[in-house]
Amino acid sequence: MTQAASAVPTGYAARRTFAIISHPDAGKTTLTEKLLLAGGAINMAGAVKARGENRRARSDWMEIEQSRGISVTSSVMTFEREGITFNLLDTPGHSDFSEDTYRTLTAVDSAIMVVDAAKGIESQTRKLFEICRLRDIPIITFVNKVDREGRSPFEVLDEIEEALALTVSPQVWPVGMGTDFQGCYDFAHDEFIYSKARANGPCDSLKKVEGLDDPAFTSMIAPHVLERFAEEAELAREGYASFDADAYRQGHLTPVVFGSALRDFSVDQLLRIVARFAPPPRPQPSDKGPVEPTNDEVSAFVFKVQANMDPNHRDRVAFVRFCSGHFKRGMKLNHVRSGKPLAVNNPIYFFAQERALTEEAFAGDVIGIPNHGTLRVGDTLTEGAAFRFTGLPSFAPEVMRRVRLEDTMRMKQLRRALEDLAEEGLVQVFKPMFGSNWIVGVVGPLQLDVLASRIRGEYKTEIGFEPVPYSTARWISSPDERKLKDFIKDNGMSIALDRDERPVFLPKSDWELRYARERNPDISFDETRELV
């Protein structure tokens, strides 16, 4: 496909790899569609679906996604505009999927935070923001739904400033809100955007003006709205920090754009800020020090694996983020964990949900590599060097269940399913030392529904869940092999192996965990473990 070839013209400096973070319902999906539309990746908003001939039956897990109105999977969407290649990584919005989200945020260089104008900062926004802050990911704020009655813009700005300890710098301001809404004004460019078509219509027009008191602008606005807007605009410009690109990139300041994703107000303006100011690929941490995007040697890491993206082909796609070098299709990369070469002959780019082969990729790009289980989350690929990217943890599960197979003839399918889905990071699978049933662990209970539904849909196998007495899992290790062996022997009923055959301790309560810790000072009980 020609798009693939033209999508990568100017190297890593032209890449903007970002995610959208928000609380469910704030408008992330709508904004994603409008950004893709603005970038020409889709033809019609609402059509973030496969085009092409293979428009295929959606599997059960996608039905869950639809019926519950949540995104269960992260995916990547690449689009291009004015010489910039945007890689938008979708983070699942539901709080149950924090692990997946966390990993996705390791692969971005910046984020857009979508806030509902009426609701302000909500719990999930705050959590995701904290992850971004931990990783120094700079944030652009989009205050959505200004076409509806909301709080005053000042209230929203002050809440962002206080709740997140961020300096706010308003860039695009609403001209009236709710029933008074007439458009938005871009301070930096003196542009007024509005709907020519009809009062409540989508944004379709832009007027370049001389300033806030240009009659070309003021004559378009109802007097009572204009009076209020003039006051607000003055206060917005005088009372808040002016934009400072360095402060933004260091994560101290957030430019704020007011708009309406649904009616397409301020989407172009938002994209322009991403293009101009969002950082290109940043150095990535590794066990041998940060890897610079300017480094000539290709390097990349796997941040997500998705099985059965296409139910007709039992394939598995590893999502790989490049960190340096200039990758070309057919290259043999060093798969550092196994030490074996991996020929990447079918690297895939994702346009909305359409796939296309790509010939090359630069730092910041995300591609999919179809494989049969070789690639795992956390794996590093390089042109030769043997180092590992760090910072992709696996978290201790908070909900544990025993898997009950309804039809014992389907043991093989179940094993396969659990292996695949564990690889995706949807679930953690433990094999108890005693007893034959698998125990699964998840971070949030909704993941269990998704698990059962996918195993039914994709592996034609019915499962149920039974409670187990365990409250969580801890990876155990010790510099003293003998002590570890003794501990495992003494606690056999509470020991299981993870899918890499590493021992985990399954305590029944916090108290039991504390007790085990106190009694065994030479053993570490880890809540997370670095993948690979």
* Residue 392, C-beta contacts closer than 8 angstroms, at least 6 positions apart: 103, 106, 301, 303, 377, 378, 530, 531
* CB nearer to ligand GDP: pick between 150 and 432: 150
Select from 29, 110, 371, 447 the one that contacts ligand GDP (CB under 6 A): 29
Q: Are 402 and 439 in contact (CB under 8 A)?
A: yes
Asked whether residue 146 is marked as a ligand-binding residue, the answer is: yes
Among the listed residues 21, 26, 184, 443, the single contact to ligand GDP using CB under 6 A: 26
Question: In the complex with ligand GDP, which residue's Cβ is closer, 29 or 75?
Answer: 29
Least distance to ligand GDP, CB of residue 255, Å: 19
- Residues in the interface with ligand GDP (CB under 6 A) total 17
Nearer to ligand GDP, 23 or 388 (CB): 23
List, as one string, the DSSP characters of 98-110: HHHHHHHHTT-SE
- What is the CB neighbour count within 10 angstroms for residue 140? 22
Binding of ligand GDP by 512 (CB under 6 A) = no
Among the listed residues 100, 147, 360, 498, the single contact to ligand GDP using CB under 6 A: 147
* CB-CB contact of 358 with 4 (8 Å): yes
Q: How far is the CB of 33 from ligand GDP (least distance, A)?
A: 8
Which of the residues 194 through 223 are near ligand GDP (CB under 6 A)? none
In whole angstroms, the minimum distance from the beta carbon of 29 to ligand GDP comes to: 3
d(CA 91, CA 89): 6
Judged by CB under 6 A, the stretch of 122-130, 215-223, 257-265, 487-495 that binds ligand GDP is: 257-265
Q: Is 108 buried (19+), middle (13-18) or exposed (0-12) by CB count in 10 A?
A: buried
Annotated ligand binding at 507? The verdict is: no
Sign of torsion over alpha carbons 48, 278, 86, 306: negative
Of the candidate spans 42-50, 149-157, 256-264, 441-449, the one that interacts with ligand GDP by CB under 6 A turns out to be 256-264
Under rule CB under 6 A, residue 27 binds ligand GDP: yes
| Closer residue to ligand GDP (CB): 65 or 379 | 65
Minimum CB distance to ligand GDP smaller for 99 or for 147:
147
Q: Of 17, 22, 295, 494, which one interacts with ligand GDP (CB under 6 A)?
A: 22
Contact assessment for residue 297 and residue 384, using Cβ atoms and an 8 Å cutoff: yes
Interface mask toward ligand GDP for 90-129; x: CB under 6 A? ---x------------------------------------
Q: Which of 15, 16, 28, 282 binds ligand GDP (CB under 6 A)?
A: 28
What contacts 482, CB < 8 A, 6 or more positions away? Answer: none
Q: Does 24 bind ligand GDP (CB under 6 A)?
A: yes
- Segment contacting ligand GDP (CB under 6 A): 19-27, 49-57, 198-206, 314-322? 19-27
Q: Could you tell me which residues are beta bridge partners of residue 361? A: 327
34 is an interface residue for ligand GDP by CB under 6 A: no
Which range, of 18-26, 155-163, 166-174, 381-389, touches ligand GDP by CB under 6 A? 18-26
Q: Where are the alpha helices (DSSP H) in 189-222?
A: 215-218
Instruction: Lay out the sheet containing 167-175: strands in order across.
Output: 76-81, 84-89, 15-22, 110-116, 139-144, 253-258, 167-175, 183-186, 191-194, 205-208
Q: Is 22 marked as a binding-site residue? A: yes
Q: Does the footprint of ligand GDP cover residue 1 (CB under 6 A)? A: no
Nearer residue to ligand GDP within complex by CB, 23 or 335: 23
Cβ nearer to ligand GDP, comparing 96 with 147: 147
Q: Is 92 annotated as a binding residue?
A: yes
Q: Which SS3 state, helix, strand or coil, does residue 417 take?
A: helix
Sheet of 399-405, strands arranged across = 463-467, 399-405, 439-442, 428-432, 495-497, 503-505, 474-477, 524-526
| 328 touches 313 (CB < 8 A) | no
**In sequence order, what E strands does 101-241 have?**
110-116, 139-144, 167-175, 183-186, 191-194, 205-208
Cα(102)–Cα(442) distance, integer angstroms: 14
Does residue 29 have a known ligand-binding role?
yes
Distance CA 234, CA 248 (A): 22
CB of 135 to ligand GDP, least distance (A): 22
At its nearest, how many Å lie between ligand GDP and the CB of residue 175? Answer: 15
Q: Interface with ligand GDP includes 74 (CB under 6 A)?
A: no
DSSP 296: S
269 sits near ligand GDP (criterion: CB under 6 A): no
Work out the number of other CB atoms within 10 angstroms of the CB of residue 207: 16
CB of 165 to ligand GDP, least distance (A): 24
Q: Are 433 and 489 in contact (CB under 8 A)?
A: no
Q: What distance in Å separates the CA atoms of residue 59 and residue 65, rounded to the nearest whole number? A: 10
Give the nearer residue to ligand GDP in terms of CB position, either 24 or 251. 24
Numbered residues of the known binding site for GTP: 22-29, 90-94, 144-147
List residues near ligand GDP by CB under 6 A: 22, 24-30, 93, 144-145, 147-148, 260-263
Numbered residues of the known binding site: 22-29, 90-94, 144-147
